[in-house]
Amino acid sequence: MGGTDAKDILGLPKTPLHEKKARPQKQSHRKPDGISREVHALTGGVAPPLTPSIDVTHLKRPPPPHEKVAWQWLPIYSSARKDDLQLYRWVRVVNGVPPTGDYSFAKYNKSVDILKYTDDEYENHLTDPVWIKEETDQLFELCERFDLRFTVIADRFPLSRTLEELKDRYYSVTRALLRARAQSPSDLANHPLMKEPYDMTRHRERKRALSMVLSQSRHQEKKDAEILAEAKRITEIRLAARRAADLDVSGNENIGLDKADGGPGCSVSPSSNSQLPATAVAPSTLTMADYASTLASLRMVYALTGGVAPLMPSIDVTHLKRPPPPDEKVAWQWLPVKSSARKDDLQLYHWVRVVNDVPPTGDYSFAKYNKSVDVLKYTDDEYENHLTDPVWTKEETDQLFELCERFDLRFTVIADRFPLSRTVEELKDRYYSVTRALLRARAQSPAELANHPLIKEPYDMTRDRERKRALSMVLSQSRHQEKKDAEILAEAKRITEMRLAARRAAEPDVPANENIGSVSPSSNSQLPATAVAPSTLTMADYASTLASLRMLHVYLRTYGLEQMVQAASSAVGLRTIKRVEQTLQDLGVNLKPKVPTKTVCDEHLELRKEILTLLNLQKQLQYKESEGSSHREGTYAAMPDTPKDRVFASEPFSFGAERPIKKEPKRKGPGRQSDTPSPAHKRPRKLKASDL
Amino acid sequence: MTSSSSSKKQAQDPPETSEPTLKSLRTKMTKSDEKKKLKDIEISVPLVYGNIASWLGKKASEYQSHKWTVYVRGATNEDISVVIKKVVFQLHSSFNNPTRVIEEPPFEVSESGWGEFEIAITLHFHSDVCDKPLSLYHHLKLYPEDESGPLTMKKPVVVEHYDEIVFPDPSESFLSRVQNHPALTFPRLPSGYNLPAPMQVDDNGKKKRGDTKDHSLGQWFTSFSEADELLQLAAARQQVQAHIAKLRRQISLLEGQNQTIKTGSDP
């Protein structure tokens, strides 16, 4: 904090009252008391501790002074223990009086009332095909002992029974006993075992489903979530459909009823109305809901495939599944194959589908793929005459052609086999140039050649090389570079779009503006044509300046104005800028507004733009005048490029009472007519016209 | 022999605007963009910054001839601390602790000295407003323009500048916090755009008032009004537009003349 000295001197308060705003940010970093710094940092430094359930103040309270606390090693007496085991522990003794009462944890020793059955009861009610009496007895003993902790019971049970089976047996026995012993059915109705009987299959299912859910992979979890969402959507659709149908049907039923009844006329009794919608709703909503659910399930399936529609299978599936016609007898035989593709006599065999003992005729079905290229062969004479090359010897060329013939122009293989080390591009280049030269030499007329693909698009080695280099560059880009490239492309796209938009936006504006000064429509149509093109560029410039200002997130309005002014003047010459400023001064306007509010700045910009327009028009006027005068002299002056910003140093005109049409000399040079160039500039076309 | 244009490109012919004076390019772009983006709104905070210096008269020494205050205030003397968290004034290195950080309004530094120098004023905003600071520069003025006149203790030298801070894309939290605050111009939101209600800051009693309406030097504050400037600009634009119209008429006339001549001279 700086300035404490100054504050001292000036007597200003030292403690800033303004810190409050900063505080909320700080609080997470301040560690609470009572825990060490390291521990607090471990919690991430932010999480406040849960409110302790123990009242801390209670613990920290010093003991009341009149109490004398001592700790003694005393025996405990617990009602929970049935045996006589004597245990000792530390006991807090206050004023020499040990605490009375039971061992404080004894109250947790609950036990379950297990029903005990007599043998008679067993015979009468409890027999079971799967369970014998001994087992049931053992089960009950264990239940008693372990207080229905079935996991332990299942572990201890001598025979291997599942937990569900044990539960089932226990609960069904107990239920049967209760029923048998009950005086009246109403006693039983409220017994929990009766109200909700144990259902073994249900529990088994439940456990199985639970274990499945718990062992799901993350992928499956997502799928399940989707399906659930889908189901929810379907139910919502049904609800909505039902509600919609309610509204609809009640409206539609008037028509139906009229037709059906025919008698009572248009007014239908409300009671029948209320009936029909009820019945009509159900089917209509069902259809809608069915439709919706079919859609939904289709969507689900679609989503399962990753959301890409399957391609139409090229094999007609129905065709495959069709059973063979009954009259055909199909057998498969191991037969020799004759292929036209093979030049040697190697005899190969394969399984052939023989129908009605007639083996298939025709060539081996894959023989048609054995295409080869017609590689031209040249004679030695031809070589001497047309095909010599500084880099390639005849032997090399011969070898190349041999390989080409042999490998059907598979240049990667050829390059590999070529005895000398040449790149693929070089080989290709040589082959194609030789072939082209041969074709040209052998052709009867040029017309033949013109359509030959090798002539139409000749192989260009350098281009091919470049292409491969660029491709490898693109493919080997790191992800970072890919992103950069994508960004740049997107940026370029945005800029072009902005320009397009600006152009389109500018166009409707310009015709609307031509009402100033009631100018005749013919001239209107001409001027906008010339004015639109440059104006769109300006709009795009403004747009990009605005965009760059936005990037700053904060800026001063004067700065913003400067940027916009610069954007506008970036495309015009320095002299024009000066003239604009001069004009502003003449008009009595500050070059930089003293009170730059938004409206003021916008007005300022508009004014500048209008001045530019004005200056432009001035130039145009002069041009037209010079054109006119040159025409009057009887020559058709060729139109050179209009140097719009180059003017005959036409002076700024005064905005006083006088509005001169011809420019009066004000500052630059002595008086002169508008069509005489000042000597400082290069010769304009005026001279040319007058020269001629 | 063909004339060659001298180096520069073609001059632009920007479109004329005949709309009422309040519309501008910026609003035009905004309107067309409004369909695409909801947030083409900006908040502007009008500021005045500058200094007031008075001669110390009899008590003036060689090194302490004037006492001066350099400050940043809201243009309407409202409390700008709603936007500005702190202001850092960087004084001349000969001063003790030349970096003065002022964290609460009024954002000003008062000192005494003898020399004029440039002061860098950096505005730091609250975190929900903007992370980047903004810098202004002010040349400290102690001596009046009229150099010949005697120094007087009565009338201080006042130099103030008006400017506005523009936030081109304010965050929602910022917007909701400052709605209806007098210190800044809140934009008109597009219809249907609802802002959350601002949180009630309930420390009216504790915080000092941050506005400068009752400032000790308040009598010297300049009151900036855009009305004059607007009038000026409007008048200028009218003149220019009239002139443009006239020129256009002339051009069309000439156009017609040239056409007849051209058709006449064709073989």
Please give the average per-residue pLDDT across B181-204, as a whole number. Answer: 65
Res. A335 pLDDT band, cuts 50 70 90: confident
When scoring B3, B93, B95, B109 by the number of chain A Cβ atoms within 10 A, the one with the most, hence best to mutate, is B3
Model confidence at A319, in pLDDT bands (50, 70, 90)?
low
Residues of chain A positioned with their CB less than 8 A from the CB of B17: 509, 513, 606, 609-610
Q: What is the pLDDT of residue A383?
A: 85
Q: Is residue A683's pLDDT more than 50?
A: no
Q: Say what the pLDDT of residue A653 is.
A: 46
**Helix, strand and coil percent figures for chain A, each rounded to 5:** 60, 5, 35
A 466-525 residues inside an 8 A Cβ radius of B: 501, 505-506, 509-510, 512-513, 515-520, 522-523
* A498-523 tens-digit pLDDT: 888 877 776 655 444 444 444 444 44
Contact B16 A613 (CB under 8 A): yes
Phi-psi sector, A110: left (phi>0), alpha (psi -120 to 50), beta? beta
Two tokens, residue A613: 């327009």
**Is any Cβ of chain B less than 8 angstroms from the Cβ of A579?**
no
Nearest CA in chain A to B5: A643
Distance, CA of B144 to CA of A248 (rounded, Å): 85
Interchain proximity B1–A523, CB inside 8 Å: no
Q: Does A312 touch chain B (CB under 8 A)?
A: no
Mean pLDDT taken over chain A? 73
Measured between alpha carbons, how far is A469 from A461 in angstroms, rounded to an integer? 12
B154-175 mean pLDDT:
87
C-beta atoms of B237 and A603 within 8 A = yes
Is the predicted pLDDT of residue B245 greater than 50, yes or no?
yes
Quote the distance between the C-alpha of residue B234 and its chain's center: 19
3-state secondary structure at position A337: strand
Q: Which residues of A touch B32 (CB under 8 A)?
A: 501, 505
Q: Which residue of B has its CA nearest to A538?
A: B14
pLDDT exceeds cutoff 50 at A427: yes
Contact A627, A637 (CB under 8 A): yes
Residue A542, chain B, CB below 8 Å: the answer is: yes
Measured between beta carbons, the chain A residues lying within 8 angstroms of B250 are 621, 661
CA A502 to each of CA A493, A534, A538, A571, B17: distance values in angstroms, whole numbers, following the listed order: 14, 11, 9, 17, 15
AA letter at A292: A
Q: Is the dihedral angle over the CA atoms A456, A457, A461, A462 positive or is it negative? A: positive
Res A652: pLDDT: 45
CB pairs under 8 A between A and B: 321
**Tokens at A362, concatenated:** 């025709």
| Strands B134-139 and B118-125, sheet pairing | antiparallel
A506-519 b/e (C-beta count within 10 Å ≥ 16 → b):
beebbeeebeeeeb
Both tokens of residue A543?
């747009």
Q: What is the mean pLDDT of the segment spanning B22-51?
A: 60
Q: Which of A196-200, A234-238, A274-278, A632-636 has the lowest mean pLDDT?
A: A274-278
* Residues of chain B contacting A20 with CB distance shorter than 8 Å: 203, 207
Angle (deg, nearest 10), helices B226-265 and A598-632:
20
Residue A88 has φ and ψ, to the nearest 5°, of -120, 155
Inter-residue contact A606 to B235 (CB < 8 Å) = no
State the DSSP H helix or E strand holding residue A193, giving kind and residue range, or none if neither. helix A192-195
Mean pLDDT value of segment B23-35:
42
Q: What is the pLDDT of residue B36?
A: 31
Contact check, Cβ <8 Å, B17/A597: no
CA distance A618 to A616: 5
Residue A380's H or E segment, with its range, is helix A380-382
**DSSP assignment of chain B:** ------S--PPP-PPP--S-TT--HHHHHHHHHHTT-S----EEEEEEEEEEEEE-GGG--SS--EEEEEEEEETTS--GGGTEEEEEEE--TTSSS-EEEE-SSSEEEEEEES---EEEEEEEE-TTT-SS-EEEEEE---S-S-TTSPP-SSS-EEEEEEEEEEESS--HHHHHHHTT-TTSBPPPPPTT-PPPPPPP---TTTSPP---TT-TTGGGPPPP-HHHHHHHHHHHHHHHHHHHHHHHHHHHHHHHHHHHHHHHH--
In the predicted model, what is the mean pLDDT of residues A484-496? Answer: 86
Q: Which of A55-64, A200-209, A324-333, B6-15 has the highest mean pLDDT?
A: A200-209
Question: For residue A638, what is the nearest residue in chain B, using CA coordinates?
Answer: B2
Give chain B positions within 8 Å (CB) of A621: 247, 250-251, 254
Residue B147 has pLDDT above 60, yes or no: yes
Q: Are B121 and B137 in contact (CB under 8 A)?
A: yes
According to DSSP, the β-strands at B118-125 and B84-90 are antiparallel
Spatial CB neighbours of A231, under 8 Å, sequence gap ≥ 6? none
Dihedral Cα A392, A394, A399, A403, nearest 10 deg: 70
- CB-based contact A509 B15, cutoff 8 Å: yes
Q: Report the pLDDT value the prediction gives residue A287, as an integer from 0 to 100.
A: 56
- Tokens standing for residue A511: 């015709």
Torsion angle in degrees (nearest 10) through CA of A528, A533, A534, A536: 100
Dihedral sign (CA A129, A132, A133, A139): negative
With cut-offs at 50, 70 and 90, classify the pLDDT of residue B8. very low
User: Are B162 and A594 a contacting pair, CB within 8 Å?
Assistant: yes
Predicted confidence at residue A289, as pLDDT, reads: 55
- Calculate mean pLDDT across residues A481-507: 82
User: What integer pLDDT is reported at residue A52 of this predicted model?
Assistant: 53
- The amino acid occupying position A358 is V
What type of residue sits at position A660? P
Which of A535, A592, A595 best probes binding to B when mutated, by most B CB atoms within 10 angstroms? A595
Tokens of B200: 């009630």
User: Of A544, A597, A686, which to mutate for an interface test with B (greatest number of B Cβ within 10 Å)?
Assistant: A597
Whether the CB-CB separation of B134 and A554 falls below 8 Å is answered with yes
CA pair distance B192, B34, nearest whole angstrom: 13
Does residue A5 belong to the interface with chain B, where contact is any CB pair within 8 Å? Answer: yes
Highest-pLDDT range among A36-45, A674-683, B36-45:
A36-45
Token readout for A229 is 């969402």
pLDDT, average across residues A520-530: 41
B154: buried, middle or exposed (CB in 10 Å: 19+, 13-18, 0-12)?
exposed
Name the pLDDT band for A31 (thresholds 50, 70, 90).
Answer: low
- Are the Cβ atoms of A602 and B24 closer than 8 angstroms? yes
Q: Indicate the DSSP class of residue A20.
A: G
**Amino acid A50: pLDDT:** 61
Cβ partners under 8 Å of residue B219, min gap 6: none
Give one DSSP letter per residue of A237-268, joined into a string.
Answer: HHHHHHHHHHHHHHHHHHHHHHHHH-SS-S--
What sign results for the dihedral spanned by CA atoms A659, A663, A669, A671? negative
Q: How confident is the model over A352-375, as pLDDT tens digits?
A: 888 887 777 777 888 888 877 888
CB B126 within 8 A of CB B6: no
Q: Which of A229-238, A474-483, A541-550, B26-35 has the highest mean pLDDT?
A: A229-238
Q: Which of A223, A237, A209, A218 is nearest to A301 (CA)?
A: A223
Cα A589 from chain centroid (whole Å): 52
Neighbour-count burial of A59, counting CB atoms closer than 10 A to its CB (0-12 exposed, 13-18 middle, 19+ buried): exposed
Distances, alpha carbon B40 to alpha carbons A154, A352, B35, B45, B167, in Å: 72, 75, 10, 17, 11
Q: Are A194 and A230 in contact (CB under 8 A)?
A: no
Q: In chain B, which residues have their Cβ closer than 8 Å to the Cβ of A535?
A: 12-15
Give the one of A21, A506, A553 whose C-beta lies nearest to B132's C-beta. A553
Contact A353, A379 (CB under 8 A): no
At position B17, the amino acid (one-letter code) is T
Nearest C-alpha neighbor of A584 from the set B225, B241, B162, B240: B240
Interface of A with B in 612-631 (CB under 8 A): 612-621, 624-625, 627-628, 631
Partners of residue B265 in chain A, C-beta under 8 Å:
631, 634, 636
Q: Is B32 exposed, middle or buried (0-12, 13-18, 19+ CB in 10 A)?
A: middle
List the alpha helices (DSSP H) in A262-344.
Answer: 270-304, 317-321
The tokens of A342 are what? 């093979």
- CA atoms in the 13 A half-sphere facing the CB of A108: 3
- Closest residue on chain B to A645 (Cα): B11
Contact (Cβ atoms closer than 8 angstroms) between residue A482 and residue A507: no
Q: Is the ipTM of this complex over 0.85?
A: no
- The residues facing B69 across adjacent strands are B52, B110
pLDDT band at A19 (very low <50, low <70, confident <90, very high): very low
pLDDT at A572: 81
B249 contacts in A (CB within 8 Å)? 517, 519
d(CA A68, CA A667): 111
> How high is the pLDDT of residue B179?
78
- The pLDDT score that the predictor gives to residue B99 is 93
Tell me which DSSP letter residue A678 carries. -
Tell me the mean pLDDT in the region A414-427: 88
Predicted pLDDT of residue A690: 46
A418 or A532, which is more confident: A418
**By percentage, how much of chain A surpasses pLDDT 90?**
1
Look at B251 and A527 and tell me if their CB atoms are within 8 Å: yes
Is there a contact between B39 and B138 (Cβ–Cβ < 8 Å)? no
pTM: 0.39
pLDDT tens, residue by residue, B204-225: 544 567 777 778 888 888 888 8
Q: How crowded is residue B177: how many other Cβ atoms within 10 Å of its Cβ?
A: 20
**Among A163-167, A593-597, A650-654, B202-206, which stretch is predicted with the lowest mean pLDDT?**
A650-654
| Non-local CB neighbours of B64 within 8 Å, separated by 6+ positions | B56, B112, B113, B114
- Nearest C-alpha neighbor of B31 from the set B20, B22, B40: B40
For residue A520, give the nearest of B8, B168, B252 by CB distance.
B252
Q: Which residue in A515, A584, A610 has the most chain B C-beta atoms within 10 A of its own C-beta, making it the best mutation to test that interface?
A: A610
pLDDT higher than 70, residue A307: no
Measure A28 CA to nearest chain B CA, in Å. 17
Least Cα separation, residue B16 to chain A (angstroms): 6
Q: Which residue of B has its CA nearest to A551?
A: B168
Q: Dump pLDDT digits (tens) for A109-128.
A: 777 778 888 888 888 888 88
